[in-house]
Structure 1
Amino acid sequence: MAQWCQLQLLESKYLEQVDQLYDDSFPMDIRQYLSKWIESIDWENVAVQDSLATVRFHDLLAQLDDQHSRFSLENNFLLQHNIRKIKRNLQDHFQEDPVHMAMIISRNLKEEQKILTNRENTQTSMVLEKQKLDNKYMFMHVRFAIYLIQHVYLTYEHDFKENTLKNRGEGFILSVGDHLFTGICVSGIEVVGQLAEVLNMAEAVLSDLISEELAEWKKRQQISCIGGPPNACLDQLQNWFTAVAESLQQVRQQLKELQELEQKYTYDNDPIKQQKGFLEGRALALFRNLLEHSLVVERQPCMPTHPQRPLVLKTQVQFTVKLRFLVKLQEFNYQLKVKALFDKDVTEKKGFRKFNILGTNTKVMNMEESNGSLAAEFRHLQLKEQKVAGNRTNEGPLIVTEELHCICFESELNQSGLELKLETISLPIVVISNVSQLPSGWASILWYNMLTSEPKNLKFFLSPPAASWGQLSEVLSWQFSSVTKRGLNEEQLSMLADKLLGENPEGLIPWTKFCKKSFPFWLWIEAILDLIKRHLLSLWNDGCILGFVSKEREKALLTGKCPGTFLLRFSESSRDGAITFTWVEHDLYGESPVFHAVEPYTKKELSAVSLPDIIRTYKVMAAENIPENPLRFLYPDIPKDKSFGKYYARASEASEPMDVESSSSTGYMKTELISVSEVHPSRLQDNMMPMSPDVFGELKRSVAPVLQCWTKDIDAAVSKTSPLVFKKVY
């Protein structure tokens, strides 16, 4: 399969890496349209030969011409336009330096291959691990089958010889007895050896399951809880646990049958009689160990009102939690009664709050109809704080959103002489009493699950460790990808790294800097997330918002762009989340870029008018000039109506008047809310000075290239009045 085709089959997190390889200088459209031709060329060789690079550059332009012709036959005007534009851009960028283009293509192809290799290695590793375990189970079952065959043979041989001896005389017994007993003894030794080997294999598999597979699943669950990839493989883990349990049950059953055989016949130094007790004890110990680790929290405590923020619970608000028993045997159905307890066996901490669990805190585990798993789900639990005398405000060492608690689940199993206590524990939770504490509580959950896997480390925030940027950057991106269709790209993360680390890019980020300063970094991110979810979701998903761009980087991006090119970024100074746009103009002579940024729009303003409509109607007014919209192209060079047109508000249909006999005219003029920025006249004084014809002619010639970038459309006459919302321009 072609490399480009393989890339398109990857998961979204890998596709985001591919997306970052391409920009305006060499857009992904070329890679898509000319994928076969591009992959047929040795670009690494082309990149070191000037003459060959020139040839390949013109070959690529010819390929684009062919593609344009195909679109012409299909009457696809839009794609024809895009191809022409791409060709012009390539000529502008690489006409004088085709080697640079070859280097870009060569680099991108190598990076694409790395992405594919990383994906394959990850997948291969998972497959090999699964195969390794599956092979162990297969080998264990083969060994058990050998044991069964040997046991059947021994039983048959014993019964045959016993009956033979009964029917023969004493002389015969004396002549063949030694030979018979020798055969039985050898068979007994082989049976014991085979059985011990089965238990050895079961112990090795069980060790892998508990110390590796189960531990890795729990770590993946932690990652999933804080926005990472969804946690899977629990069904596979259940299959493995169940397979080992069934094998151990069979071993125990065969040991019982050996006991019956022993009652029929035994002799001195019988290996079965000598080893049976030890084997029974070992099989039972393995079975107990397996069951003790089989009770897991399948779905961590979570309020249904905030499904993407598990482990933060509000008092007197219902939450759910689900458990599963990984040994799915029919004999355990309806046999396990699970009870939920709050902070069980937790050493009391001075000043920490105490809570009671309200609602039905006991459930019986049964096999679900949907997938047959042995599970119990608590749906209507609530927490209520225990009132204590006095004021505890200053008694505790931590604020309430740093207090970690846990919910313990316990059960008992009594079956076939097996008495067993089962217990598992939730991940640490934060309990809040007001929804305003949710962002800070979620920050604690992020920090804990990012840095530790100890489920009972409830004193974590007494001395919280610092985080590296590598750890935090991935978690930050998950916060966006879990609620939108886009995570954060490298450039956005780079801006956030500079904001947090400053001049020490290799430094560690302390908890206090992340969430406890007067203007916490996390609460700024949280406010932006809320802004996106409420007002900017579609624009963010479509990639219209660069978002996290420093002012210095913003100027670098807009420099050299056509006047009226603008980008959208989040305000760095707004605690409640706000978005602004910055556009570029040129000075009088078209030489130096001039940048303007509008006062950021908050949630309150975006609730009244959507951002696309603000961009559509935005005006700049200076002195007595006619207000005009300076926004023309979304960075890098996309006409604003193409980017935002589908989001513009449509004119609403007029409602029917109550008096059908009256005139259709209401007598009112329609209004529209628009944003206007007033520019101080002093900023335009150079433009307003009188000029001689010679100076004007020279000015006209100097600004002609700049004027070509402006569209020539004229705003249609507006026959309605518009309330003005004045915004500052910086």
Structure 2
Amino acid sequence: MAMWIQAQQLQGNALHQMQALYGQHFPIEVRHYLAQWIESQPWDSVDLDNTGEEAKAKCLLDSLVTELQRKAQLQGGEDGFLLKIKLGHYADQFKSTYDRCPFELVRCIKHILQSEQRLVQEATNASSGSGAQAMDTLSQRHQQINQAFEELRLATQETENELRKLQHNQEYFIIQYQENLRIQAQLTSLSSVPAAERTQREATLQSKRATVEAWLAREASTLQKYRLDLAEQHQKTLGLLRKQQTLILDEELIQWKRRQQLAGNGGPHEGGLDVLQSWCEKLADLIWQNRQQIRRCEHLTQQLPLPGSIEELLNKLNSDITDIISALVTSTFIIEKQPPQVLKTQTKFAATVRLLVGGKLNVHMNPPQVKAVIVGEQQAKALLKNESTHSESSGEILNNNCVMEYHQATCTLSAHFRNMSLKRIKRSDRRGAESVTEEKFTILFESQFSIGGNELVFHVKTLSLPVVVIVHGSQDNNATATVLWDNAFAEPGRVPFLVPDKVLWTQLCEALDMKYKAEMHSGRGLTEDNLVFLAQKAFSSSSNNPEDFRNMTISWAQFNRENLPGRNFTFWQWFDGVVELMKKHLKPHWNDGAILGFVNKQQAQDMLLSKPNGTFLLRFSDSEIGGITIAWVAENPNKQGERLVWNLLPYTTKDFSIRSLADRISDLNHLLFLYPDRAKDEVFAKYYTPPLSKPVDGYVKPQIKQVVPEFTTPNPEPSTGVTFMDQTASSSTTHSNSFGVYSSISDNMLDPDGEFDLEDPMDVARHVEELLRRPMANQWSSQQS
């Protein structure tokens, strides 16, 4: 059966190939319902080329037919009626089709099993070693759950059969009891009969009554034992149901919710909800069947009270089964699509809630309405502790009511909130250094509905992941930090919304790597060297040994409350600036491996001085949020024979909105090799902007080019466009050699790291914009002169 479980996990083309193996010759339903039996048979032991082994093949055919017939007989109830007919039909079909050629059946099944094994193996090989191991673990869990469902199905079918026997015996007992009453009435009526005749008839009736009463006494004892045995069987089934429900709700569903939370940090998409729904629907079906059986037992007991009543036990069973189904319904009211965790006021947002057992319990027959309200941390605590049933709102959400809809194609019952908007927010008093971007809220979704013809009424509610409310885009960075920390380090079942104040550095590394890979849409995440660089920045350390940081802890304050030494920004603000820059402008270059990025100035100098002149690398600015600089090695123009490493003023997202990184690198002819030794055109040429087209309607289109004056070779020929010098270079070994189009740059304009303070020189983007606003004729004449 393990093979069939794995085959059901196939996706895409592999799944289609697996489905194509089946048809009229071998229906997929037979493979599904006889999976364990089929995989346990010795199909490979039959030599298809040896006619002497036809008897062995015939034996396997007969066994398959017998197993199908046995499986068909086990089906009961309204839901099992069609399956019973279908399996019986397949048994007859196999008998008539393969009885004269049993080898064909063996050949067919061997081909199917071998093909399934190949498809599963290919899917396993396509994933990593850890992925294959995870798939094995997943298969084992699924096998355990499916086997438990089979046990529950058989147990429920057995109690159904026993209940029918009990009902039949009780009905016969009542008939005999009525017969005894009739005999009693006949004996009473004998008083009007002549003595001679009365004596004879009385003796006959007395004998008959004695026989019936003796039978009634025995049968009453038997019925009572039946009732007790059946109640004990139900008690055992309820124990299995609880165990299965705990496995699905407290493990599988919680794990799905955890994956959903990590998806907020860029983790793999949570997926698997349809599988969870199928399990929850099976649970609901089995629980409801058992509940109906227990209620029928109660009815039989009330219909025929007997000494030694088991009413108390049945009441307990009824109460327990109601608790089980209540836990299932309330736990499966979940948020399929979370609202955004950084929520800006006056901005439209969406969310989807789903009741996993809604279709199975026919909740959609009277579609319930769902309401969404935003509540604060204290209210969330009270709700989870059941200390409050009143949803005191912390703000006003527009379009916060939605009716659940049943989707026939997917068999899902869900409510899609498409146009919600947070109109206003009411904040609580903040503690200490806590800012508004550290305050957490949650969206509460609640509904009420009934099942079983108003037999059971449920008030269900579920809380979204924590949301941080902002009123301006400038708050997004810090709000994202709060969300990332919460998603990464929240413990299952926590008190809202407690998270540890300190975590291991290695734990934070996992969260940062997950976020970075997600934003780059690439498997290329942060290397160990990158993480060492980040540790050096976070802890103000100069160690290059990753082991030195393995057992260190980092606090929330170090992460995003306290500024880095000598800077006016936090560790997270710097990291998030890098992520935003890469995501918007440099993603292809990162995925190509062209950007080293996480390298400090001293490391860049050491790396480049060992390379030929013109070798350059790209690294993130230490002194500016969302900045990247080009460092290259070249001769010192002021001292012959001396080589220096130069650093351009960092580019930011504003610079790349004017001219791309690849074009800027193309402009600088003194840049020859991307570190360590790749020709720059080999790496960047595919990203260069195509040459300008010819003049149109008499107009010449201006061209922006980047120039570093000290490294520019004069070009005597007139340009076809307008060239602007827009960049400044500094030497990383001395502060006295600075060149640019701006006024003379003094030492006090350099930050402690040797990079320029952008607050003093003219901003590059503003400079270009100023030039572009000048009349073109003036610029052209200036260029010619």
Q: Give TM-score scaled by structure 2 length.
A: 0.64
**1:194 and 2:225 matched:** no
Question: In the aligned structure 2, how far is the partner of 1:135 from the partner of 1:348?
Answer: 38
Task: Flag the 1:144–1:275 CA change in 2: closer, same or farther, 3 A.
Answer: same
Question: In the aligned structure 2, how far is the partner of 1:723 from the partner of 1:597?
Answer: 19
Shift, 1:270, TM fit? 4.5
Unpaired stretches in structure 1, ≥5 consecutive residues = 1-9, 12-112, 303-310, 619-628, 658-664, 681-714
**1:582 and 2:631 matched:** yes
Shift, 1:442, TM fit? 0.7
Task: Flag the 1:546–1:345 CA change in 2: closer, same or farther, 3 A.
Answer: closer
Q: Pairwise mapping of residues 461-500 of structure 1 onto structure 2 (< 5 A)?
A: 465-486=501-522, 487-500=525-538
Task: Flag the 1:419–1:387 CA change in 2: closer, same or farther, 3 A.
Answer: closer
Unpaired stretches in structure 2, ≥5 consecutive residues = 1-9, 12-124, 181-207, 382-391, 732-785
- When structure 1 is superposed on structure 2, of 586-595 and 257-266 the one drifting more is 586-595
Contact 1:412-1:421 at 8 Å conserved across structures: yes
**1:218 and 2:257 matched:** yes
**1:331 and 2:362 matched:** yes
Question: In the aligned structure 1, how far is the partner of 2:146 from the partner of 2:431?
Answer: 54
Q: One-letter code of the match for 1:442? A: T
**1:319 and 2:349 matched:** yes
Shift, 1:346, TM fit? 3.1
Question: In the aligned structure 2, how far is the partner of 1:175 from the partner of 1:370?
Answer: 60
Question: In the aligned structure 2, how far is the partner of 1:230 from the partner of 1:285?
Answer: 33
Shift, 1:593, TM fit? 6.7
**1:136 and 2:185 matched:** no
Question: In the aligned structure 2, how far is the partner of 1:344 from the partner of 1:552?
Answer: 48
Q: Residue 412 of structure 1 corresponds to which residue in structure 2? A: 448
Q: In structure 1, which of residues 283, 289, 295 is the aligned counterpart of residue 333 of structure 2? A: 295
Question: In the aligned structure 1, how far is the partner of 2:493 from the partner of 2:679?
Answer: 53
Question: In the aligned structure 1, how far is the partner of 2:165 from the partner of 2:641?
Answer: 98
Question: In the aligned structure 1, how far is the partner of 2:434 from the partner of 2:380?
Answer: 14
Deviations 1:8-57 (A, max 9, x none): xx99xxxxxxxxxxxxxxxxxxxxxxxxxxxxxxxxxxxxxxxxxxxxxx
Deviations 1:576-605 (A, max 9, x none): x12112233579999997433322222232
Task: Flag the 1:364–1:393 CA change in 2: closer, same or farther, 3 A.
Answer: closer
Shift, 1:130, TM fit? 2.3
Q: One-letter code of the match for 1:312? A: V
Shift, 1:480, TM fit? 2.1
Q: Residue 413 of structure 2 corresponds to which residue in structure 1? A: 374
Q: In structure 2, which of residues 655, 659, 670 is the aligned counterpart of residue 630 of structure 1? A: 670
**1:508 and 2:540 matched:** no
Q: One-letter code of the match for 1:540? A: W
Deviations 1:244-292 (A, max 9, x none): 1111111121123223433443421244x45222211111111112222
Question: In the aligned structure 1, how far is the partner of 2:710 from the partner of 2:493?
Answer: 58
Q: In structure 1, which of residues 607, 625, 650 is the aligned counterpart of residue 690 of structure 2? A: 650
Question: In the aligned structure 2, how far is the partner of 1:274 from the partner of 1:400?
Answer: 56
Q: One-letter code of the match for 2:274? A: D
Q: In structure 1, which of residues 332, 335, 340 is the aligned counterpart of residue 372 of structure 2? A: 340
Aligned length: 551
Deviations 1:467-504 (A, max 9, x none): 22111112112222222223222222221122112256
Task: Flag the 1:542–1:590 CA change in 2: closer, same or farther, 3 A.
Answer: farther
Q: Give the secondary-structure state (helix, strand or coil) at the position aligned to 1:729.
A: strand
Shift, 1:542, TM fit? 2.1
Q: In structure 2, which of residues 162, 180, 185 is the aligned counterpart of residue 150 of structure 1? A: 162
**1:675 and 2:725 matched:** no
Task: Flag the 1:434–1:726 CA change in 2: closer, same or farther, 3 A.
Answer: closer
Report the structure number with the largest CA radius of gyration.
Answer: 2
Q: Residue 604 of structure 2 corresponds to which residue in structure 1? A: 554
Task: Flag the 1:543–1:236 CA change in 2: closer, same or farther, 3 A.
Answer: same
Shift, 1:330, TM fit? 4.8
Structure having greater relative contact order (Cα 8 Å, sep ≥ 6): 1
Q: Residue 724 of structure 1 corresponds to which residue in structure 2? A: 725
**1:246 and 2:278 matched:** no
Shift, 1:440, TM fit? 0.7
Q: One-letter code of the match for 1:582? A: A
Question: In the aligned structure 1, how far is the partner of 2:583 from the partner of 2:410?
Answer: 34
Q: Give the secondary-structure state (helix, strand or coil) at the position aligned to 2:274.
A: helix
Task: Flag the 1:485–1:561 CA change in 2: closer, same or farther, 3 A.
Answer: farther
Q: Residue 565 of structure 1 corresponds to which residue in structure 2? A: 615
Q: Give the secondary-structure state (helix, strand or coil) at the position aligned to 2:346.
A: coil
Question: In the aligned structure 1, how far is the partner of 2:312 from the partner of 2:299?
Answer: 15
**1:450 and 2:488 matched:** yes
Question: In the aligned structure 2, how far is the partner of 1:232 from the partner of 1:723?
Answer: 52
Question: In the aligned structure 2, how far is the partner of 1:318 from the partner of 1:670?
Answer: 41
Question: In the aligned structure 1, how far is the partner of 2:434 from the partner of 2:504?
Answer: 23
Deviations 1:290-345 (A, max 9, x none): 2221211222212xxxxxxxx11111111212111121325211442221122178
Question: In the aligned structure 2, how far is the partner of 1:180 from the partner of 1:387?
Answer: 71
Question: In the aligned structure 2, how far is the partner of 1:381 from the partner of 1:331?
Answer: 28
Q: Residue 50 of structure 1 corresponds to which residue in structure 2? A: none
Contact 2:447-2:461 at 8 Å conserved across structures: yes
Question: In the aligned structure 2, how far is the partner of 1:345 from the partner of 1:335?
Answer: 31
Contact 1:678-1:727 at 8 Å conserved across structures: no
Shift, 1:550, TM fit? 2.5
Q: Residue 432 of structure 1 corresponds to which residue in structure 2? A: 470
Q: Pairwise mapping of residues 19-30 of structure 1 onto structure 2 (< 5 A)?
A: none
Deviations 1:510-543 (A, max 9, x none): 2222212231111112222222232212212322
Q: One-letter code of the match for 1:133? A: I
Task: Flag the 1:508–1:263 CA change in 2: closer, same or farther, 3 A.
Answer: closer
Task: Flag the 1:383–1:669 CA change in 2: closer, same or farther, 3 A.
Answer: closer
Question: In the aligned structure 2, how far is the partner of 1:211 from the partner of 1:348?
Answer: 20
Contact 1:354-1:386 at 8 Å conserved across structures: no
Q: Residue 358 of structure 1 corresponds to which residue in structure 2? A: 397
Deviations 1:355-404 (A, max 9, x none): 4223222222222355222111222222233689xxx9999863111111
Q: Residue 751 of structure 2 corresponds to which residue in structure 1? A: none
Q: One-letter code of the match for 1:413? A: F
Q: Residue 591 of structure 2 corresponds to which residue in structure 1? A: 541
Q: Pairwise mapping of residues 595-634 of structure 1 onto structure 2 (< 5 A)?
A: 595-618=645-668, 629-634=669-674
Question: In the aligned structure 1, how far is the partner of 2:420 from the partner of 2:687?
Answer: 42
Shift, 1:195, TM fit? 1.2
Question: In the aligned structure 2, how far is the partner of 1:459 from the partner of 1:375?
Answer: 26
- TM-align CA RMSD: 3.6
Contact 1:566-1:631 at 8 Å conserved across structures: yes
Q: One-letter code of the match for 1:495? A: F
Shift, 1:138, TM fit? 1.8
Q: One-letter code of the match for 1:411? A: S
Q: Residue 81 of structure 1 corresponds to which residue in structure 2? A: none
Contact 1:188-1:270 at 8 Å conserved across structures: no
Task: Flag the 1:679–1:561 CA change in 2: closer, same or farther, 3 A.
Answer: closer
Question: In the aligned structure 1, how far is the partner of 2:575 from the partner of 2:476?
Answer: 14
Task: Flag the 1:719–1:358 CA change in 2: closer, same or farther, 3 A.
Answer: closer
Q: One-letter code of the match for 1:581? A: I
Q: Residue 133 of structure 2 corresponds to which residue in structure 1? A: 121
Q: In structure 2, which of residues 681, 693, 712 is the aligned counterpart of residue 641 of structure 1? A: 681
Identical positions, percent? 28
Q: Pairwise mapping of residues 156-171 of structure 1 onto structure 2 (< 5 A)?
A: 156-163=168-175, 169-171=208-210
Q: Pairwise mapping of residues 51-130 of structure 1 onto structure 2 (< 5 A)?
A: 116-130=128-142
Task: Flag the 1:473–1:728 CA change in 2: closer, same or farther, 3 A.
Answer: same
